[in-house]
C-alpha cells in the first residue's frame, strides 16, 4: 500500500494541512498512519494546537494538567460554549474562562460545547474571583436555562440539572437540597483558585467530585441517559470561572 510507505515529512505536511476532524479517519488508513497520529506530542498536533488555541492559553498555566498537544486541542473543543451562555457572560480570549458582567439581580450560567451520553469523563473547574452567595458547578441538559432573575442555584434549579453549591456545600436538583456534600461534619469550604475535578460516569449514571486530588464521593446517582453538559452558574459581578476537559478519569 503506497500510503503506508510515505516518508515522515510527507505525512507531517499532509496531516498539518488537513482539518482535525479528518485526522481520525486518517488514523484508520494503515498502521503507519495510526502510529504517526497516535503520538500526541508530534509536530502535527503542535501545529494544529498553535492554530486553534490562543497564545495566552498555551503560555499560561491554565492547561498545566493537560500534558500533550492533542489533549490541549481536545480541551479546547470541550471548553465553554460562547453561543450557549447567559447574555451577561462572555468567554475570554483564552477560550477557557468565562467572565460574568456586573449585572444586579440575575444569575448567569454557561454550558460546555460538547455533552456526554456514553463513557467516563473528567474536567476541572475553578473560580478565579469571589463566589458571592451562590456558586454552582455540575451538569445541565440542553433543556435547562442559562439565565434567571434573582440570585439562585441555577444549576440544579430544575429536573434537567444537577449542581453543587460551593458556598454552602449543598447539592441541588429539581430546586431542592439533596443534602450536604461532601457528607462530612464541618467539611472545608471552597477556596478561590482550587481546581475541582468533575467526574461523570455515563455507564453507572453518576456524578462525583474530587478536590486537591481527594475523591469526595458520589454526589448524584441515577442520571438520565441523555446528553449531559458541563455547567456552572454565578452571581458575583466580574467573577471568572475556568473549565478544562481532561478526558477519561485516571482510574479508568
Could you report the per-residue pLDDT of 12-27, keeping only the tens digit for each? 665 666 677 766 776 6
Burial class (CB in 10 A: 0-12, 13-18, 19+), 68: middle
Cis peptide before 105 (omega within 30 of 0): no
Nearest to 183 by CA among 214, 141, 218: 218
pTM of this prediction?
0.90
Note the pLDDT of residue 34.
63
The answer to whether residues 130 and 235 touch, using CB atoms and an 8 Å cutoff, is no
> 15-29, 77-91, 132-146, 196-210: which range is least confident on average?
15-29
Could you report the per-residue pLDDT of 64-117, keeping only the tens digit for each? 999 999 999 999 999 999 999 999 999 999 999 999 999 999 999 999 999 999
Q: What stretch of H or E contains 25?
A: helix 20-26
Burial class (CB in 10 A: 0-12, 13-18, 19+), 90: middle
Nearest to 107 by CA among 141, 157, 143: 157
| 156 phi, psi to nearest 5 deg | 120, 0
Confidence of residue 193 (pLDDT cuts 50, 70, 90): very high
Amino acid at each position: 500500500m503506497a500510503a503506508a510507505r510515505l516518508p515522515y515529512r510527507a505525512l507531517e505536511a499532509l496531516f498539518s494541512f488537513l482539518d482535525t476532524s479528518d485526522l481520525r479517519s486518517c488514523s484508520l488508513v494503515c498502521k503507519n498512519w495510526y502510529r504517526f497520529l497516535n503520538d500526541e506530542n508530534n509536530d502535527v498536533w503542535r501545529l494544529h494546537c498553535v492554530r486553534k488555541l490562543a497564545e495566552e492559553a498555551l503560555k499560561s498555566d491554565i492547561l498545566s494538567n493537560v500534558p500533550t498537544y492533542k489533549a490541549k486541542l481536545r480541551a479546547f473543543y470541550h471548553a465553554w460554549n460562547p453561543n450557549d451562555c447567559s447574555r451577561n457572560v462572555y468567554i475570554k480570549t483564552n477560550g477557557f474562562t468565562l467572565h460574568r458582567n456586573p449585572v444586579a439581580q440575575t444569575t448567569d450560567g454557561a454550558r460546555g460545547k460538547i455533552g456526554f451520553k456514553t463513557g467516563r469523563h473528567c474536567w476541572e473547574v475553578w473560580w478565579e474571583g469571589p463566589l458571592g452567595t451562590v456558586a454552582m458547578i455540575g451538569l445541565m441538559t440542553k433543556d435547562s436555562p442559562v439565565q434567571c432573575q434573582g440570585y439562585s442555584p441555577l444549576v440544579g434549579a430544575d429536573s434537567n440539572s444537577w449542581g453543587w453549591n460551593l458556598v454552602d456545600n449543598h447539592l441541588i436538583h429539581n430546586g431542592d437540597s439533596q443534602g450536604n456534600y461532601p457528607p462530612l461534619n464541618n467539611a472545608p469550604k471552597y477556596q478561590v483558585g482550587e481546581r475541582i475535578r468533575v467526574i461523570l460516569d455515563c455507564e453507572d449514571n453518576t456524578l462525583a467530585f474530587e478536590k486537591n486530588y481527594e475523591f469526595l464521593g458520589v454526589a448524584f446517582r441515577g442520571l438520565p441517559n441523555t446528553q449531559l453538559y458541563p455547567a456552572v452558574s454565578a452571581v458575583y459581578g466580574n467573577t471568572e470561572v475556568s473549565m478544562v476537559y481532561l478526558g477519561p478519569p485516571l482510574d479508568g
